[in-house]
């Protein structure tokens, strides 16, 4: 999920979700030497299948695209909030756009989406992303959120192994499968 400063766009000028996705598609296509119309069609087709808005002002437009071998990402903050059919009814002003290889594993795509969604559940990250005005600072905010998430996951896993080790032998059946 690591972003470089050139994958961060502040003040994206868009008046609708279609326009926001089209402008993001153009930026990603230019950065990856892809056909912008192809990228837009893939993202828009996915958006029409169901809104990619998570709520809390965030959307994760994503699509599988031919012509790339590694995922391509873009974080964009819009100049003004946009109606995006979010589950909470709030407009979107932050987009994390993700393209993955068309011939890649579906499980990898889903795992990346889950990781991005989980990262955006961090309220400190959302607050930082809404207020920071420097792409390098936004890049650091994402890195910090990833670190917090890794620590939380390690702590959660460690807690599970402690519970297995501390439990009586008759409650440890299957413990090897959990570890």
In Å, what is the CA distance from 67 to each residue of 3, 4, 24, 128, 129? 20, 21, 17, 33, 30
3 state SS of 77: strand
Phi, psi of 131 (to 5 degrees): -110, -25
Catalytic residue among 62, 77, 109, 112: 62
The answer to whether 3 and 128 have CB atoms below 8 angstroms apart is no
Nearest one of 86, 99, 33 to 59, comparing CA atoms: 86
The answer to whether 13 and 79 have CB atoms below 8 angstroms apart is yes
Q: Look at the block and give the residue holding tokens 């989406």.
A: 113
What are 135's two structure tokens? 């792409």
User: Is 109 marked active-site?
Assistant: no
The residues assigned a catalytic role are 62
């Amino acid at each position: 999920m690591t972003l470089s400063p050139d994958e961060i766009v502040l003040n994206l000028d868009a008046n609708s979700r279609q326009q926001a996705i089209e402008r993001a598609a153009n930026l990603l296509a230019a950065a990856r030497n892809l056909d912008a119309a192809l990228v837009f069609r893939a993202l828009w087709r996915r958006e029409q299948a169901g809104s990619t808005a998570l709520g809390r002002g965030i959307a994760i437009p994503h699509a599988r695209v031919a012509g790339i071998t590694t995922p391509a990402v873009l974080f964009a903050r819009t100049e003004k909030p946009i109606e995006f059919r979010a589950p909470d009814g709030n407009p979107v002003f932050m987009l994390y756009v993700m393209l993955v290889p068309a011939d890649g594993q579906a499980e990898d795509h889903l795992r990346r989406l889950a990781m991005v969604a989980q990262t955006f559940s961090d309220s400190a990250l959302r607050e930082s992303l809404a207020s920071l005005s420097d792409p390098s600072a936004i890049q650091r905010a994402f890195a910090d959120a990833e670190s917090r998430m890794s620590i939380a996951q390690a702590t959660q896993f460690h807690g599970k192994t402690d519970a297995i080790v501390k439990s009586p032998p008759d409650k440890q059946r299957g413990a090897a499968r959990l570890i």
